[in-house]
Amino acid sequence: MRLKGDSNTTKPSLHLEYGDKTVQTSEAGIATAISKATVEKAGEGKGISDKPITLVVKKKSVPDLTLVDLPGITRVPVKGQPNDIYEQISKIIMEYIAPKESIILNVLSATVDFPTCESIQMSRQVDQLGERTLAVVTKSDKAPEGLLEKVMMDDVHIGLGYVCVRNRVGDETYEQARVEEERLFKLHPMLSQIDKSMIGIPVLADRLTQIQASLIAKCLPDIVQKIDDKLNRSTTELNSMPQNLSTVADAMKALIHIKKLVRRSLENLLIRGEFDELNPDDYSLHGTARITDMLHEYHAGLPKKCPTTDEEFLMEEGKGDSRDQRNKASKLHA
C-alpha cells in the first residue's frame, strides 16, 4: 500500500496497480478488488505470486508512506498449494526485508509467545541487532494479560520497540475503529498501564514516518553514490557504442567521415607505402604485391578467354608487336 498525503483533495482517491493494469476502486470495494486481482495473478487455488499488487491511496492528512504486506509463513502445504510453498514464501519475504533501506514491520499476535514466532527468527537473519525492526502487537484486546510485561521485557530484542494496536472488528469504519482503540487503551485496567507512546494506529503511523525519514537520511549518501556509479558506467558504455543515426543529416555526416577514413587509409597504403594500419610483416597485404598478383592472374587467364583457333595468331601478334617495337627502338638508337 502506497499512501500519499494530498492536502488539496476533497475526498480519498484509491486505485490498484498490478502488471500493466490500473483499476479504480473505493474504500468499500478494496477487499473485492484485491481478491479479483489476486485471482488474476495467483490463480483460483491457494497459490502465491511474487508479483506485487499495489493499492495507491491519496488522502488528506495521511503520511507519505509505503507498506508491503508480505504473505504469512506456511510450513505445511494445504490442498491446492505447491509442495514448496514454504520456500516460495520465504524467498519473497527475504527479497523485501533483506535490503538495508527497508524497515521490518514484524506483526505479532498478543495471543502467542513472541520468541516462538518464525517471523522474528527470519528478521534476525537480516537484522541481528534489530536496528530496523519494529514490532506491531495485534489483538491486544484478546489477550491483555501479561502484555505489558511482554513489551517491556523485550525478550526478542526488537530494536525499534513495540506498538500495540486493536484490530478493526466487523464493519467498523477506520474512524470508528480508532475511537474504540483509544477507549480500550484508556479504560482497560491492564492495557491502560502501557505507555501512550506504544499504543494506537496513529502512533504507529508517526513512528514509521520518523523511522523512514531517519533511515533515508542515513542511507541517502550510499544511494546517491550507487546512482552516480551506475550513471558513470552507463555513460561510458553508451559512449563506446556506435552513434545512433536518427536523421538523414546524421547519416550523411557519418558517411562523409567514413569516406575520409577510407581515403586516408588508401593513400597511406598505395601512395605513401605506409602499412601502420595493417600487419607490417604480412607482405601479401602491401599494395605493390597485390597489384603484381593481379597482373599475373590476368596474364594466366588471358589465353583461356581467347578462342582456340585464334590463340596462336594472338600470341604471335603479341610477339610480333614486341619485335617491331624492339627494331624501332634499335633504329632510333642507331
Identify whether residues 107 and 199 lie together within a single domain: yes
Tens digit of pLDDT at every position of the chain (334 positions): 888 888 777 788 889 998 888 889 888 888 888 888 888 888 776 778 888 889 998 888 777 778 888 888 887 877 777 788 888 889 999 999 998 888 899 999 998 888 888 888 899 899 988 888 999 999 998 888 889 988 888 888 888 999 999 988 888 888 899 999 999 999 999 999 999 999 999 999 888 888 888 878 888 888 899 999 999 999 998 888 777 777 888 888 888 988 998 888 888 777 766 666 655 565 555 556 667 677 778 777 777 766 555 545 445 544 444 445 444 444 444 4
**Closest of 167, 168, 155, 158 to residue 207, by C-alpha:** 158
237 and 278: one domain?
no
Number of structural domains found in the chain? 3
Question: Residue written as cell 546517491?
Answer: 224
Say which residues have a Cβ less than 8 Å from residue 71's Cβ, sequence separation at least 6. Answer: 48, 89, 92, 93
Residue 315's identity, in one-letter code, is M
Q: Does residue 215 share a domain with residue 186? A: yes
- Shared-domain flag, residues 171 and 213: yes
Within the chain, where are the H helices? Answer: 30-42, 85-97, 118-126, 147-153, 174-187, 201-240, 248-266, 287-305, 311-333
Domain's final residue, options 68, 88, 123: 68
